[in-house]
Every structure is written in C-alpha cells, then in structure tokens.
Structure 1
Amino acid sequence: MIKTIIIEDEPAIQKEIEWLVNQEEDLELVGTAGTVFSATELIRTQQPDLALMDIQLTDGTIFDVLQQLDDIPFQVIFITAYNHYAIKAIKLGALDYLLKPLDEKELQEALGKVRAKNFDPSTQQQQISVAESRLKNEMLSLEDPMVLHTLEYLQVLQLKEIIYLKSEGSYTNFILTGNRKIMVSKPLKYYQDLLPERWFLRPHQSYLVNTTLIDRYIKTGYIILKDKTQIPVSVRKKEAVVQQLTQGQ
C-alpha cells in the first residue's frame, strides 16, 4: 500500500481529493492537514510515501513545510489553482502537478508515475529547489536553473546553457553549450510559453533562440549565432525579430 497524505486548506477540495484517493485500491490515506504546522507534524508522524500538496496554504506555502524537513523521502504531487507564476515554477522544475478542480484522468496519469517506482529523492529535491526559487523570484535571469525531463533522466541546467531549441514534431531538441543535445517529449510551444521572452526569440515555427548568443541578423531571412549556426527567419516573423533585437536601442 502507498501511504498517502493530503495537504489542502480548502475543505471542499480536501474532501474531493479524499474521495478520489479512496477510490484507489493501492492508496492508503493516513492523514490530512491544512496549515504549515499541521502538515509538518503529519509528515513527521506518518512518514508517507506520497503527498498531494496544495502550494498555497492559509499560513504560508508548501515550501515552508518542506524547508522544515531534513529530507523529502516521499513523492510529491503539487495541487494548485490556475496561477501563472506557480505553474511556471512547477514546470521549470519538471514536477507533477494537478489543477483545481482535480481531473480524475490527470490524477491517474500522475499516480501512474508514482506506481512506476522510478523515484529518486535527491533528484526530486533538486526539482523542488528549482520550483521554489522560481516562485520567489517572478523575474527570471539567465543564471536561473530549469529541469528537463527525458525518457532516461532529469537534466538540471541554467538557462544560459541553452543555445537554441528545435521542434521535432511533438518533441523538442535542446541544443546546449558544450556540444550537448537533449530531446524532450514536449512541443516547442510548451517551452516558448515557459522561457522568458526577454531572452528567447522564436524566429521560425521550428526554432526558439537564446538572443544573447545571436551574432547578427541577415535581412534576407536568417540569424547567425556566435557559434556560426544559421537559424532561418520566416517571412511573417521578420518584423518581430527586428523589434525584439533592437529593443532599448
């Protein structure tokens, strides 16, 4: 049995999650909490395998809870209302999350990952640190980290390591410094929405480029990066490219 706790400060939502958890034969609900203090005590006394955690609590955030623990040896699924910054934080950490009101199908998908038993506490700690840092600082810099979720591993990197992204259908290739390449199973649009427009430019439907690594823009329709890579610029993107590259000049 998977010992499960629920940390949620809205009684109606908490009851809904309880009902969903109780439908799962391999989940054992061992407690609920709605505040930072009660959540911390619940985790310490019950030592769960899985925690369904609302990010925003009445007296703080779930990160206030996690900071009080020596380690986090249990799997975390975050719960949040639609909040632009919270969701971006979670996505940068490549963590699992559910939106309120909970969708049973999405819960099943998240539980499927729990049941796969590929859990690595140290990696999850890195992911949580990335999300917490992002949530505290709404403005991203190129020094900030993000996590890429591949089929084989989780990669932690800084935004400044990204040279460009290339669409491969429903997948995206990250071309990184040091002659590294990482493919992830999310479309380019996902990362266009996630990465700050200040630093990342989409000159073509298949590319997203780190603007700090652009050497020049050739007006006939392509960008040359500092490593001599040529990136095409679509006709309808030419004006937007010029505007973004000349901002502040």
Structure 2
Amino acid sequence: MEFYIFFYKDLLLLKERLSKFLSSALVAPLLYLAAFGLGLGRRLRMEGLPYLDFLVPGIVAITAMTASFSGVAINLNMSRLYSKTFDAYRVSPIHPFSIVVGHALAGMFRGAVSSLGVVAAGLLFGARLELGASFWLILLLSTLVFASFGVFAALMVDSHEDLALFNTFVIFPMSFLCGTFFSLSGLPSFLRGAIYMLPLTHSSLLLRHLAGGKAADATSVLILLGYAVLFACLSRWALDRCYR
C-alpha cells in the first residue's frame, strides 16, 4: 500500500487546484465539440452515426490521453528536476515500483475526472451515448495506459523542454491521426496499419463502439492491456536508471 502515499498527495494537490485543472484540461475538448459538434452536428454522418455521436467518444479518448499524460508527467518532472523532492524517494525504504504505481494512479484519476467532464458536455450538446460499465472500464484502462506513459516520459527526460518533445512528436500527432475525428477506413492501407499500432486508436475505437451499443473488440482490449504492462515495465526500468 506504499503507492497510496503518492496517490493521496496528488489528490490533496488536485483538491486545491481543481478549478484551474478542469478549466485547463477542458478548454481544448470543448472547443473541438463546439467547432466540429455544433458546426457539423447531425448534418454529417460517419460510419453510420451522426457526426456528433461519432465525435464525442473520440474527444473523450483524446482527453483521457492528454490529461493522464500531462497530469503525471509534468508534476513528476518538476519534482525530479527542479524541486528535488524526488530525491527523497530515492533514500526512503519505499519500494520503487510503488512510486510508479502511485503516480500512474494519480494520472489515471486526473484523466478520468477530465474525461467525465467531456462526457457530460457531449450529452449536453445532444450526443446519444450508451454509457455502460464496459465504457467506463475501457476509459479507466485508457487513462492507465497514458498515465504510465507519462511516468516513463518524466523519468527519461533531462529537462522540461525535453518533456515537451513527447507532446510535440507523440501526443499531439496521435490526437488527430488515431480515428478521433474521422474514420480510418479511407486511409491508405500502409498508413492505416501504422495508425493501428498506436494505443489511442484502440482507445478511440473501443469507446466509440461501446458508446454506440456495440461489443468491445477483444483484440483492441488486449492491445491496450499490453501497452499498460509495457509502459509500467518501462517506467520501472527508467526509475532504476534514475537511481543509478
């Protein structure tokens, strides 16, 4: 239960800054909803769905990714490189993997809270979504994947500027390429194959299928689980690297 220390610390910080966190996390998703959802709305159909119903799960997936990644990566990066509070972990008897788990859970929580706000906004905009238990479980799995990736990124970089490169070359391109705003069926096969290797693609597809009342694709679920395990292992390796 050592991981709870880090999770609880982040909860206390989030409680103090909740309004600022939500406002910054929801600005871009709400702009996407307003620009694409209201602009195109139900006049356009995508994969047999009104575009708004197609769009909202994609924006939820983007929000889960960005809020989970940034929520943990920025805080951990600052504590490791600037405030130096991370150094206290290194000399404590806390198991290293508890550090990874605690920060990943904190990122998950931030991503889930932000995504819940987008779901609520989508419903207010008129999207028709079936929000069963499977939808929320996949959403939590998605936040775990990208929170774990955020831990790995924060432990690998040597400056705040280097962390921005992850956003520029990984997070930002995935936001627009992974079937969040448009169907992947019209893409060239070689490009579609590359995009299907990215985790946000499967997060977006699963959330859209479940919100539309369809069953979750088992392959996509396994791929997300695989990414969660991979990023957790990479985070542990990166933490050991910091300890040396």
Structure number with higher relative contact order (C-alpha < 8 Å, ≥ 6 residues apart) = 2
TM-score (normalizing by structure 2)? 0.22
| Higher gyration radius (CA) | 1
TM-score (normalizing by structure 1)? 0.22
